[in-house]
Structure 1
């Protein structure tokens, strides 16, 4: 039996080494591809500028490359234009010195472009340690595929927004589809914008910023709500689409259950949705409200969080967090309601596919104003 166990352990060790080696090989191959695409994009851009060619020459380049290398893949007219855009977009950003100096992304041919500004580049390199761009940023940049980068270039105009998604995609191993989903959700602007009391209710020694794990508004486009639908129907719809809901919530969440029962001296209470966040090491209770936020909702959630911490939370876990998910809210009312609560909680809104976009909602009257008008 001991021999068999040793043999099984050997198989597991070999599998682990194979998987690790494949991961390293794939990562290095992706880095080399990004370097190649950046250098090709730079070379094309330089020649077009020098020779004053029109951009239609890229179509001819793609055709001639195909003739010279019939089995070549990834160098179509469209992809060559993407490579040029890739170079143009980042050659003017603060990450550029790292791409050239530290990873030698651009080959000797492309370095000619910068010969006239060597002094400026050297000065920039010396200041790298004083900028927000660091090795982590560079690793993230090289840690996603060219397809990820093309999507970001086409969907996000601001460099800071692209950098946000690059870091999240690289560190959380997002697929292209997942990245596209979060861009559609506008995670960049929603992330960390939740109205909460975490600054006072969570111990300041906590190394993680809990606010970064929640959004101010959740797009629940799988909901098809009617005017008569109640909170139970919203909850059931979320549970039926729990995988999609967890994706919208973000990193580290695991679903524990709905209508999670709490017993206090023989009296039963139910939490609408209960999750656990593995990164925060906290239980997260969601209470669903179909109408506008009301101050009394915080008292109910405060009660649930206290019971969770006393009866459900494990000894090595941190205090629970509560989120009220409602249809509408006024930020001032939310802040007055949660300011002096000693249990960590926040208030977010949800929007479904039947709702108008956020920029339209901002200029429309809310439900109370509509009632007064009617």
Structure 2
């Protein structure tokens, strides 16, 4: 009998060997990363301790890294540019307890740390470190979230205690309000600011860029469908986008609006929520969440239109370009300053 992957016993053996090899490759790559990252921390330590040994050595400054880069490249080849040595030095300064606290379980690559080292603010850097580990961000994903000012967008809406918790623990998803961001940023669609798109075009673009869209929504979202059809009293309705949040165990319904949200938009979303709670939820599901995403919103209108509603219905803004970092930074500093008075 010929040995093929379709043969039961032989196929099982093939899968076992393939699985063991893949697991070994993963473990080997992780081990290499652990050793490499720890080595770079040690290099940074040696440089800093040399600089701190006396005033004469401290004045070497930039010249020290240039000389080291030249001599180390002669001995070991690539990998010891002045830029890399600068990162290693900074790595030790930013993470002085790295070898003690984190050596047992390195969860980030050296490339991740290089991106984190570009952040001067300790709270901001801690947040992105914790969030990268929690959501297993790749380096490009980390870069995108940094560029979109995720930390500042989340922190600007919190009090001082909330900001500190965000930096120390990352974004914890424990209740529907933890899902929200203000504003949501869709710069990955690359739509020029003056250009106008229809709601259907915007929906199509978001679905065509589902991976970055899910990254912007946050951890735990799984895509269910677009233009999700429901029937209420013989009338057909369509929800723009439907997701299921596996952490909160509830449906998340999203409606897109190009202009300002009107009261009837809120009423329609409330109808969707009622339908999903009664007809789509199964055992173990929590009440659904509704998010209306719009370019503008009137806070007072939203307050009055949602008066008395017990459902988890939110109106949030989105924008097609990156937010103003300085404005967000100023808002965060205001929150921290007022709390410290």
Per the shorter chain, which TM-score range? 0.7 to 0.9
* Residue 357 (1) aligns with residue 339 (2): no
* Residue 262 (1) aligns with residue 262 (2): no
SS in structure 2 of the partner of residue 280 of structure 1: coil
Aligned-pair Cα RMSD in Å: 3.2
Show the counterpart of 1:306.
274
Show the counterpart of 1:209.
175
Show the counterpart of 1:56.
63
Show the counterpart of 2:339.
none
| Superposition TM-score, scaled by structure 1 size | 0.72
The correspondence of residues 1-374 of structure 1 with structure 2, limited to 5 A, is: 4-50=7-53, 51-52=57-58, 53-69=60-76, 72-91=77-96, 96=97, 99-102=98-101, 139=105, 142-154=106-118, 156-191=119-154, 208-221=174-187, 222=189, 223-224=191-192, 229-331=197-299, 333-335=301-303, 337-338=305-306, 340-353=308-321, 357=324
SS in structure 1 of the partner of residue 240 of structure 2: strand
Aligned partners of 1:358 and 1:58: how far apart in 2?
32
Give CA-to-partner distance per residue, 1:98-126, whole Å, 9 cap, x none.
x34455x6xxxxxxxxxxxxxxxxxxxxx
Which deviates more, 316-325 or 275-284?
275-284
| Superposition TM-score, scaled by structure 2 size | 0.78
Aligned residues of 1:325 and 1:348 also touching (Cα < 8 A): yes
Q: CA deviation at 1:49?
A: 2.7
SS in structure 2 of the partner of residue 319 of structure 1: coil
Question: CA 1:36–1:58 in 2, change beyond 3 Å: closer, same or farther?
Answer: same
Q: CA deviation at 1:227?
A: 7.4
Aligned length: 307
Which deviates more, 226-235 or 142-151?
226-235
Which aligned runs of 4 or more in structure 1 are off by greater than 6 angstroms? Answer: 192-195, 360-363
Aligned partners of 1:185 and 1:356: how far apart in 2?
7
Aligned partners of 1:238 and 1:80: how far apart in 2?
41
Question: CA 1:10–1:88 in 2, change beyond 3 Å: closer, same or farther?
Answer: same
Aligned residues of 2:179 and 2:218 also touching (Cα < 8 A): yes
Give CA-to-partner distance per residue, 1:261-306, whole Å, 9 cap, x none.
1112321111111122233332211111222234443221111011
Aligned partners of 1:361 and 1:192: how far apart in 2?
9
SS in structure 1 of the partner of residue 290 of structure 2: strand
